Structure 1
Amino acid sequence: MTAVDERRMTELFENLEVPEGVKVELLRGNIVMMAGPDVVHNDIVEAVHDQFPRKNWRRLHTQDLALHEESSEPQPDLVLVERGTGPDSGRMMPPEVIKMVVEVVSKTSVDHDYGVKRSIYAAARLPIYLIIDPIVAHCVLLTDPTGTGDGADYRSQWIYKFGETVRLQPLGVDLDTTEFGTLPNVRPHRRP
């Protein structure tokens, strides 16, 4: 895609009228629409949110990220930024202040969360990407981003089953996953 095409797509994306109950993201120049989240999804996001003390962390839900070199404006389910850093207003959060992004997988987001977003977040040098998957009842912790563009990835990957503690040592938090629910009647996949 040329720079002109990317600018047009970004402009179109920013002016798009989205129906209620639909989530829209710009991922590498593609506009991606998804159904609104399930209650299981929202309960998981809330459980993660509650484990990060407000006095230390800004726990931002569905915050747009400014990843323009990737032609992307993803909207993770949860963004963690140290309190006192980042802009005080505006729609976009710059990657250099983000400590962790969290995506909770839905039946329509498996490929995006495990594939393109993994690459986008690594290319943006986001230090921690946590995928919480209520389809297969596990969390995938990704750290140590490397590479650029489509070839970017995380060097380190740990998988924790629901019920196990996810060790987030750089953030000073051991994440309790015992409250995480699962999505009923959804066909399992083979990711990560």
Structure 2
Amino acid sequence: MELGAMQDVVRFVTRAALLSAAFAVVGLPGPAGAQSGSAGGSIGNTEKSLSGTRATPRTVEPAKPARRSKPAAETTRPAARKSGGGGAGAGGGNFDGAWSVASVGTPCGGATEAIVITSGRIIGQYTSGRVAPNGATTGAGSANGISWTSSGRFSARSGSGSFRRSDGCVGRWTASKQ
């Protein structure tokens, strides 16, 4: 190897060693690195004392008291009625939940839609309606320019009825609680 090439290798190795040493010094944790950023304290802390120089110790807020029990009047109220759908005006409370509705019509074929009944209201992607406390239901919906009306009855875990579409298709629907 000639002298010029040897000097280039030595320069390269020296630069690499110096860069490595510089990165090692910068990357090491130390007092200067630990104190960079704020001058002590934290966001919202107006007291910026250095560690070990506090005149009085910090106080700790007492823990919140345990939650008290409910008053006797609330704990002894009668249980909600289960057989009547939640009482007058409440809608079909015992029909609440997710339902799967399958419909079959002539000549339009069949379709399935997921609906949710909440406090007597039917909510679906394409359908909406009402359920009375006795299970009687009416609904309406639309999709792709076709509208429809439906009626029927829900029981505890199933339902059935009929529908009529604006394009002349008529058919039946059945529902099952999920």
- Normalising by structure 2, report the TM-score: 0.24
Q: Which has the higher helix share?
A: 1
* Greater RCO (Cα-Cα under 8 Å, separation 6 or more): 1
- In our comparison, the structure showing a higher alpha carbon Rg is 2
